[in-house]
A and B are shown apart, each in its own frame.
Chain A
Amino acid sequence: MFGRKTGGRHVVIIGNGIAGVTTARAVRARDKKCRITLISGESLHFFSRPALMYIYMGHLTERNTRPFEEWFWKKTRIERLQAWVKFIDVDAKRVDFAGDTASLTYDQLVIATGSKPNKFGWPGQDLERVQGMCTLQDLANLEAISDDIEHGVIVGGGLIGVELAEMLHSRGKRVTMLAREKNYWDNALPEAEAALVGRVIRKGGIDLRLATELDRIEDDGEGRACAVHTKDGERLPCQFVGLTAGVSPNLSALEGSKIPTGRGVLCDFSLRTQVPDVYAAGDCVEFVTPEGERNVVEQLWYTGEMHGEVLGRVMCGEEAVYDRGIWFNSAKFLDLEWHTYGEVPPAGRETPDHQMLLWQPDDADLAFRLVLKQGRLVGVNSMGIRYRHKVCERWIADGLGAEQVLERLPEGNFDPEFYRRYEPAIVRAFREQLR
């Protein structure tokens, strides 16, 4: 394997998102000598993809979303290249590009190409003014037609959908959101929280249509979308259609290559593909799990970062295995923040083993939930109250019982100083529910 002393090897990374960049930094931290090339067709610059919405809304400039200044790349000697990869020859260990960018040879290759929006073969999905919201290019396209949009329809009720709705709404556009689910994003949230988010979205002035599916997108005769038809037979005239029905691994760079793929790039838990010296990280990875289980694809900023850290070690000869650890995630739905830790079964997926404690006041958009399994804490879900990641993680890891958690609850609160504290009310409500 390559150790610190070997030097001289060329590490080529396709994709300069969080996974690719973290991998590059982790390799550099262990190997001062090797050459590292970071490639992306989208942008020369590493930026925060989750921050795209803030550029459009005018909270941030594109530059604000870049975590590192130019000197950082010089100091770490990470070379950057903006070009689209067209073909990977694993026998010759060579990467070819579209256009006239010269091919590169590698000693080790990392695929960190992220994901692309799902399209489900809807008629009209490739018309003009129909797009996802994943890249700088998507953002530029949206910006270019923004002045013409009076009404936008968003198809898909996930996290990106609500962000896109908020973006359009911030520019004074009328927004309709179509979601298949009975409650907003209830394949990830428990029913009460899903209903709460739905209410918040509607209160924010967005026309959320639940249990509504897209049938087709209508062409205005000039190749542009002009209306959306739902399966219930409604016609919604609009000047923009956002497709946000989830994402799947972007495998365009692997076309025609010998790297095995399924939904994503097939990898073991050390992020090795089935081809020697070719690795993968981030959204594009599909972990091959021991028989029986469904393969895992993780499409989060946090997991991309963790993949990169493990992969950097693996590529430098260390034994490292990716372990997701105790689950966590967070998001913001308009003005409502959400934190989740551990195992919180979404609507309809609780088992008889699960004991769910829920506190939800009548007069505020808040919800706090503890999930217990056989009397031990397994999950925390909090909406509108910030909770401490490491504290919740410790409670879950230690398998605290309900009463132990309630005693410690104030320690977990992470709201700013002087905020109203809801813990006394929560503890009272939960003691009642436990009785």
Chain B
Amino acid sequence: MSVTLTGPAVSPHADSAGLRTAFAVATGVSLLPFALALAGHPVGSGWTAFAIAFVPFVVFAMLYIWATYRDTHPGIKNDDITRGHFTGRRTAGVLLGVVLTGLYTVLYFQGEWLQPVFALTDPLSQLLRDRPADQWFLYGFLYTLAVLIMGARMFWRYRHNRYQLFRTASVMFFQLGFAFLLPAFLLAMQQPEFYFTYFWPLKPDYLYPSYWAWLWQQPGGVGAFMLMFGVAASFVLTPILTFYFGKRWYCSWVCGCGGLAETAGDPFRHLSSKKYAAWRFERWSIHSVLVIITALTIWLWVGEGEAVQTGKKWYGYAVGMVLSGIVGVGFYPLLGSRVWCRFFCPMAAILGIGQRFFSRFRITTNGDQCMACGNCSAYCEMGIDVRAYAMQGKNIVRASCVGCGICSAVCPRGVLKLENGKTYADRYDGAQNPLATLLRSLKNP
């Protein structure tokens, strides 16, 4: 007669799974006040309406995240991502993409439709900016909220990885402080709304003559300071920091677009295309946008008339709205979190040229330890085939790398490390002579 013996009675995740479902449903239900407001029946008014609209949503979303990670051991937690409803390019993901692109389209082109919703944020806008809310305030508020909530998720998810913790804290800080509170505060102080974390050419206005003229006229010298900061940021700060740290100092530590991608976009990072064809397209598209905005900026300084103004307007529509917003964020669940950054952002193009040819940054490979599993490539939001380099034991020095560090985090064999070397010259064959290498790469890309 043999003994019957059973192990722990419940499967390890059972209770968390129940909690997660409950909180997911509650988060969904918390969207009700927005629907009611849109339907013309806002719940309460003033701060009450604000609290009813946002507090339950934030609380339940945070509880959902807590339930997701509460009984996990610190480490990489990518279970079920390729099959997830939202993360596996399934129906829910496609619907989310449709909703996001729809919201961006409304925001840019029919913002007044959102009046009942931005009215909910009115008390906050009054408090921070001393003026009523508009769709842009609502947008900035939701954007910041997304970065903060999903940033908290990053804290739980990567609690074993200090690089991720520091980097996430940094993007949360810059989004909240420099992209949300400070511009609002400037408005309240009757000063120009200025974003100290956006530079030309990502924010092309900063080098437009008309914007300069306007800044220059601002009383008290604040505008003049902003003008000079904008120039210095693009032409002094950017090259120096990129030389020492690579493009990551901006793209995954400071930038707001990057901040959203690194927090709200994290569940979708694996959806970026790793195909060589995508890389070829990327090199054309991103540098084209850079050439266009450079030409347009110069044209604005030297030329006058209707044509150049039309050019400026169309650049604003096509790049500022369609590519960075509608496609850039709306396509998260379809093409990954960095569509804008990878294919179109002219700032990323400049930083990328710096990183590729004039920087000490590289990702090093740990000898021959790679076993080609593909985690690094799959989770690269910029679609770099990291594995192709790792298999050969080569350093990864790519213009597009934003230094998020996730390849290094997910590698089960500890093969990858982001590093700032002591020199730029030892990174790859030809690195000693960056100008010649740059010219050669232009001749045969």
Contact = CB atoms under 8 A, between A and B. Distances in A.
B430 to A, nearest CB: 21
A233 B366 contact: no
Nearest to B366: A389
Contact of B378 (A64, A205, A237): A64
Given A204-B73, A418-B163, A420-B162, A60 B412 contact: no
B366 A416 contact: no
Contacts of B275: 69
Contacts of B270: 64
Given A64-B378, A69-B276, A414-B417, A328 B163 contact: no
A18 interface: yes
B372 A18 contact: yes
B373 A54 contact: yes
Interface in A327-341: 328, 330-332, 334-335, 337, 339
A315 B122 CA distance: 77
Contacts of A332: 412-413
Contact of A334 (B73, B375, B387, B405): B73
Given A50-B371, A67-B374, A330-B413, A234 B3 contact: yes
Contacts of B79: 57-59, 170
A159 to B, nearest CB: 11
B82 A71 contact: no
Given A172-B12, A235-B4, A419-B163, A57 B375 contact: no
A416 B409 contact: yes
Interface string A177-219: 0000000000000000000000000011101000000000000
A233 B414 contact: no
A427 interface: no
A305 B390 CA distance: 14
B339 interface: no
A73 interface: no
Interface in B161-178: 161-163, 165-166
A386 B275 CA distance: 30
Interface string B356-379: 000000000011110111110110
A203 to B, nearest CB: 7
Interface string A56-92: 0111110011110101000000000000000000000
Interface string A38-64: 000000000010110010011111001
Given A229-B2, A233-B3, A174 B368 contact: no
A48 B372 contact: yes
B3 to A, nearest CB: 5
Contact of A48 (B161, B374, B418, B419): B374
For chain A, give the interface size range: 35 or more
Contacts of B252: none
B81 interface: yes
Interface in A273-331: 301-302, 305, 328, 330-331
Contacts of A170: 79-80
Nearest to B412: A332
Interface string B63-82: 00000000001111011111
Contacts of B83: 58
B415 to A, nearest CB: 8
Given A50-B373, A59-B79, A389 B368 contact: yes
A134 interface: no
Given A54-B375, A420-B162, A61 B82 contact: yes
Interface string B382-396: 000001100100000
Interface residues of B, number: 56
Q: Which of A61, A172, A173, A416 has the most CB of B within 10 A?
A: A416
A151 interface: yes
B422 interface: no
A416 B163 contact: yes
Contacts of A58: 78-84
B371 A207 contact: no
Contact of A418 (B166, B378, B412): B166
A64 B374 contact: yes
Given A69-B275, A172-B11, A388-B367, A416 B418 contact: yes
A302 B7 contact: no
Contacts of B4: 235, 237
A71 B276 contact: yes
B378 A334 contact: no
Contacts of B445: none
Contacts of A173: 11
A386 B417 contact: yes
A373 interface: no
Given A67-B388, A69-B275, A172-B11, A416 B413 contact: no
Contact of B162 (A205, A414, A419): A419
Contacts of A418: 162-163, 165-166
B277 to A, nearest CB: 9
Contact of B375 (A59, A172, A233): A59
B3 A386 contact: no
9 contacts: A58-B81, A59-B82, A64-B378, A234-B2, A302-B368, A335-B73, A388-B367, A417-B163, A419-B163
Which 8 residue pairs of A and B lie closest in terms of their CB atoms, listed nearest first?
A389-B367, A335-B75, A51-B373, A386-B414, A235-B2, A58-B80, A418-B162, A172-B11
Interface of A: 18, 48, 50-51, 54, 57-61, 64-67, 69, 71, 150-151, 169-170, 172-174, 176, 203-205, 207, 229, 233-237, 301-302, 305, 328, 330-332, 334-335, 337, 339, 386, 388-390, 393, 414-420
Interface of B: 2-8, 11-14, 17, 73-76, 78-84, 160-163, 165-166, 270, 275-276, 366-369, 371-375, 377-378, 387-388, 391, 405, 408-410, 412-414, 417-419
